[in-house]
Amino acid sequence: MRSIKTMIAAVIGVAVIASVSFVPHSQAAANKNEAIAAFETIRAVLQNPRCQNCHIPGDAPLQFDQGLAHAQNVQRGPAGFGMAAMNCSTCHGRANLPASYGAHVPPGAPNWHLPPPQHKMVFIGQTSAQLCNGLKDQKANGGKDLAALLKHVDEDKLVLWGWDPGIGRAPVPIAHADFVAKFKQWTDAGGPCPG
Ligand code: HEC
Ligand code: HEC
């Protein structure tokens, strides 16, 4: 008798545990799938010309929506700030120039430069999976964990410039707040990658 009761209790116990653990598990899977879907919005922003013109595999920054090589043979240089006598800051100031200067003037934001040659942080020409894995690889992203990445896309001045790129350049078409919300959804789910 006692052993049957014990068995029944054990079976009920297993059933309860199974049903309890089933709910969060499927919830986690749903969150993961939604976060992977959210990553598509992140990808679209990262691969917008305003962002990917600096996030390049080569050593010359790119210009315009077509991603043409930067005029005047501007190069990345040893730390991303340009070559001696051709530093980014020679031409790019801390802010965009007033509209009265017209188009084709150098855009500006604090600390205008490329990622260093050791960590190029390439966005251009990457698949979603490559982009996602590269983004969260701390050896490639300058040691940023997911929280630091979220803070970067929320606050960094070079990122914010993409929504205020100066006269003659189209801003990133997805609202910054929507981009940050999708980015948070992705980091909250642990940064899952497609593929
Ligand atoms: C003027 C060049 C420039 C532009 C424009 C630019 N970035 Fe960057 N980005 C950098 C540099 C330099 C770093 C490295 C900074 C650091 O590690 O502190 C960086 C780092 C990042 C990182 C973190 C590291 C990683 O592995 O990717 C993210 C995310 C990022 N940028 C997103 C963007 C987005 C989104 C835009 C457009 C809205 C943008 N960037 C536009 C230069 C630029
Ligand atoms: C000799 C001056 C000069 C130097 C030095 C220079 N730039 Fe530029 N840059 C410009 C001008 C001018 C433009 C705007 C071109 C236009 O709109 O016709 C520009 C545009 C850009 C753009 C294009 C933005 C876009 O989305 O279309 C990027 C990115 C850029 N520069 C990055 C850099 C980086 C990074 C450095 C340093 C490694 C640098 N530049 C050095 C003059 C310069």
Q: Whose CA is nearest to atom 30 of ligand 2?
A: 61
Q: Is the pLDDT of residue 135 over 60?
A: yes
Pocket test for ligand 2, best of 48, 76, 88 (most atoms within 8 A of CB): 88
pLDDT band with cut points at 50, 70 and 90 for residue 122: very high
Q: Is the pLDDT of residue 13 over 80?
A: no
- Percent of the chain exceeding pLDDT 90 equals 82
Q: How far apart are CA 160 and CA 69, in angstroms?
A: 23
Quick one: pLDDT at residue 18? 47
- pLDDT tens-digit series, residues 60-113: 999 999 999 999 999 999 999 999 888 999 999 999 999 999 999 999 999 999
* pLDDT for residue 166: 96
Each residue of 140-170: pLDDT tens digit? 999 999 999 999 999 999 999 999 999 999 9
Q: Could you tell me which of 110, 67, 68 has the C-alpha nearest to residue 88?
A: 110
Work out the pLDDT band at 24, boundaries 50, 70, 90. Answer: confident
Token pair recorded at residue 172: 């990133």
For ligand 2, the distance from its centroid to the CA atom of residue 20, given in whole angstroms, is 57
Ligand 1 probe mutation, 45, 152, 182, most atoms within 8 A of CB: 152
Dihedral sign, Cα of residue 38, residue 153, residue 60, residue 171? positive
The alpha helices in the chain, defined as continuous H runs, are 2-46, 49-52, 88-91, 128-135, 146-155, 157-161, 176-188
**Is the minimum distance from the CB of 114 to ligand 1 under 6 angstroms?**
yes
Predicted local distance difference test score (pLDDT) of residue 55: 98
Higher-confidence residue of 27 and 191: namely 191
Q: Of all residues in the chain, what percent carry a pLDDT higher than 70?
A: 88
- pLDDT surpassing 90 at residue 4: no
Ligand found nearest the CA of 106: 2
Q: Name the residue type at position 11.
A: V
- Is residue 6 very low, low, confident or very high in pLDDT (cuts 50, 70, 90)? low
Distances, alpha carbon 42 to alpha carbons 16, 47, 136, 142, in Å: 39, 9, 13, 19
Question: Which pLDDT score, from 0 to 100, does residue 16 have?
Answer: 46
Position 9 pLDDT exceeds 80: no
